Amino acid sequence: MIRLYDSASGEVRELRLRDPGRLAMYVCGPTVYDVPHLGHGRFALVWDVARRWFTFRGLVVDYVSNITDIDDKIIARAAREATSEHEVAATYEDEWWRALERLGVAAPTHAPHATHYVESMVALIDELVDRDVAYATRDGVYFDVARVPDYGLLAGQPLDSLRAGARVEANEEKRSVLDFALWKSAKPGEPRWTAPFGDGRPGWHTECVVMSLDLLGEDFDLHCGGLDLKFPHHENERAQAVALGRPFARHWAHNGWVMVGDQKMSKSLGNFTTLTDLLARADPRAYRLLVLRSHYRAPVEVTGATIADATRALERLDALARRFVLPRLAGTALVRDEVEWRGEAAALAAVVGAQLDDDLNTPVAVAALFEAVTRAHALADEGRDEDAGHLALAVAVLFGAMGLSLEDRREAIDDVSAELVARRDAARAQRDWARADELRDQLGARGWLVEDGPEGTVVRRP
Ligand SMILES: [Zn+2]
């Protein structure tokens, strides 16, 4: 049983699926007007981990994540750079997919573009107008939030207190400050689509409700996104579905913020300004490991120091891959089935599984996996090669289930050390243990930690 915190009910509860064995999830994607920032990287990683884990648990996952390719910020950038909105969106969408590929985030089952769904959005808005849940003003069509009795469910606040806290706006035609734009009337020189309520373009909140229902169907299982989207974006998506009497997401999940510290723009501290910047300067797997070591609902601090710390931890995993010659694993159900879970590996899988099934408790699962890394080395040092190898493979499979590959990245080894390694292997082949120990000491003097793997001597920096 998979349990997940539900932002609508405010509790961790069982993920009850519309179709048993199949999970339909929607993750709000980026507005492509600039290079991706660290927060984008986090939501992509968190929901990629969730998707991979659900798949590992045997579910078929339909994963939809959209691209918002029309928006005020895209229009503003196109005007500033004297180019087209399409050009701006295409440029930064490319950046987005490149970043996700480097992060090892699996491609969505569908990645709909807002501009391809405008006709359906117009139809939805028209229906809301027909039902008098939406009304036209000079600058566009607005949704009347007072028409949804439980508006504020995701915000966790009733309508009155939300209204009291809202900013007063310039548009005096709005019935409430909380009413939001479904359609923005065309301004000169801006992209426009025709609609019965006047030429213009869709509002952001209408995009996601149309695309999620179109691709996943009513009553889909899981709607995800960053905490910053919970209100008003998700609240407003939901309000439209409720007003039309269409069953919407069964479960809402939100990931926590990215903290960059007080000196976030200081490059001299080795901190990162954008996701693109981080990926240029660090092993992309370090960001995934950093994300895994925090609970997805908690904030995570992404700085030069925390990425360096994750990189050092990663080195411990790679050292395991070198010593035990582990394969690179993508974390699929097929991989799971290839492992014969027994002994300490089975116990480890049980602990990790219980933690991840309980609201994706990755930090506790990862801590258990690092303890198993230490244990695998200890077993090998005791000469229990088979148990050690089995446990090491289990570690690789379970990290693979969260999308993290252990990599046999051999550190560049100098010629003299390489010669000592070769001589030591030859001595061991001749069962000349005294000579082998002597060569181990010589390698140790050159700063290497020497280990015996299934294919001979393996050296790494301690
Ligand atoms: Zn959205």
- Report the separation in Å between the CA atom of 411 and the middle of ligand 1, taken as the mean of its atom positions: 43
In single-letter form, the type of residue at position 145 comes to V
Do residues 374 and 299 share a domain? yes
**pLDDT for res 265:** 43
Do residues 324 and 252 share a domain? no
Which pTM value belongs to this model? 0.90
Rg (CA), the chain: 26
* Position 59 in a domain: yes
The answer on pLDDT for 165 being more than 80 is no
- Strand, helix or coil for residue 389: helix
Backbone region of residue 29 per phi and psi (left: phi > 0; alpha: psi in -120 to 50; beta: other values): beta
Q: Could you please report the per-residue DSSP string of 27-80?
A: E---B-SS---HHHHHHHHHHHHHHHHHHHTT-EEEEEE-BB---HHHHHHHHH
Distance CA 337, CA 427 (A): 39
* Position 261 in a domain: no
| Ion ligand 1, residues whose Cβ is below 5 A away | 28, 208
Q: What is the maximal distance between C-alpha atoms in the chain?
A: 91
- Report the separation in Å between the CA atom of 165 and the middle of ligand 1, taken as the mean of its atom positions: 23
* Position 352 in a domain: yes
Beta bridge pairs of residue 253: 224
Q: Is the peptide bond before 232 cis (omega within 30 degrees of 0)?
A: yes
Q: Report H helices in 382-432.
A: 385-400, 415-429
- Report the separation in Å between the CA atom of 10 and the middle of ligand 1, taken as the mean of its atom positions: 20
Q: Which of 237, 256, 275 is the last residue of a domain?
A: 256
Do residues 234 and 368 share a domain? no
CA angle 248, 251, 256 (to 5 degrees): 120
Q: Which of 231, 256, 281 is the last residue of a domain?
A: 256
Distance CA 274, CA 445 (A): 41
Do residues 296 and 173 share a domain? no
Do residues 182 and 282 share a domain? no
Question: What are the counts of helices (DSSP H) followed by strands (DSSP E) for the chain?
Answer: 16, 14
Which CATH number do you get for residue 365?
1.10.730
- Report the separation in Å between the CA atom of 429 and the middle of ligand 1, taken as the mean of its atom positions: 62
Do residues 199 and 84 share a domain? yes
* Position 10 in a domain: yes
- Report the separation in Å between the CA atom of 317 and the middle of ligand 1, taken as the mean of its atom positions: 36
Cα–Cα nearest to 372, from 384, 386, 360, 389: 389
Task: Please give the tally of structural domains in the chain.
Answer: 3
CB 324 within 8 A of CB 388: yes
Do residues 249 and 281 share a domain? no
- Report the separation in Å between the CA atom of 196 and the middle of ligand 1, taken as the mean of its atom positions: 25
The answer on pLDDT for 262 being more than 70 is no
- Report the separation in Å between the CA atom of 216 and the middle of ligand 1, taken as the mean of its atom positions: 14
Q: Which of 208, 237, 256 is the last residue of a domain?
A: 256
Do residues 52 and 171 share a domain? yes
Place of tokens 């169907």: 217
- Exposure pattern of 174-201 as b/e (b: 16+ CB <10 Å)? bebbbbbbbbbbbeeebbebebebeebb
Q: Report H helices in 192-302.
A: 204-216, 235-243, 275-281, 284-292
* Position 409 in a domain: no
The answer on pLDDT for 55 being more than 50 is yes
Length of the chain: 462
Going from the C-alpha of 298 to that of each of 78, 159, 361, 370, the distances in angstroms are 36, 27, 11, 21
Task: Tell me the residue range of the domain where 312 lies.
Answer: 266-400
Residues 353-374: tens digit of each pLDDT:
999 999 999 999 999 999 999 9
* Position 407 in a domain: no
Do residues 426 and 448 share a domain? yes
- Report the separation in Å between the CA atom of 29 and the middle of ligand 1, taken as the mean of its atom positions: 7
CB 439 within 8 A of CB 423: yes
Do residues 107 and 169 share a domain? yes
Percent of the chain with pLDDT over 70: 94
Residues 310-359: tens digit of each pLDDT:
999 999 999 999 899 887 776 555 566 667 789 999 999 999 999 999 99
- Report the separation in Å between the CA atom of 113 and the middle of ligand 1, taken as the mean of its atom positions: 12
Lowest mean pLDDT of 62-66, 225-229, 360-364, 409-413, name the range: 409-413
Which CATH number do you get for residue 86?
3.40.50.620
- Report the separation in Å between the CA atom of 280 and the middle of ligand 1, taken as the mean of its atom positions: 28
Q: How far is CA 234 from its chain centroid?
A: 18
**pLDDT for res 104:** 94
- Report the separation in Å between the CA atom of 234 and the middle of ligand 1, taken as the mean of its atom positions: 7
Do residues 143 and 227 share a domain? yes
- Report the separation in Å between the CA atom of 81 and the middle of ligand 1, taken as the mean of its atom positions: 27
* Position 145 in a domain: yes
Do residues 202 and 306 share a domain? no
Instruction: Give the tokens for residue 437.
Output: 């120990």
* Position 109 in a domain: yes
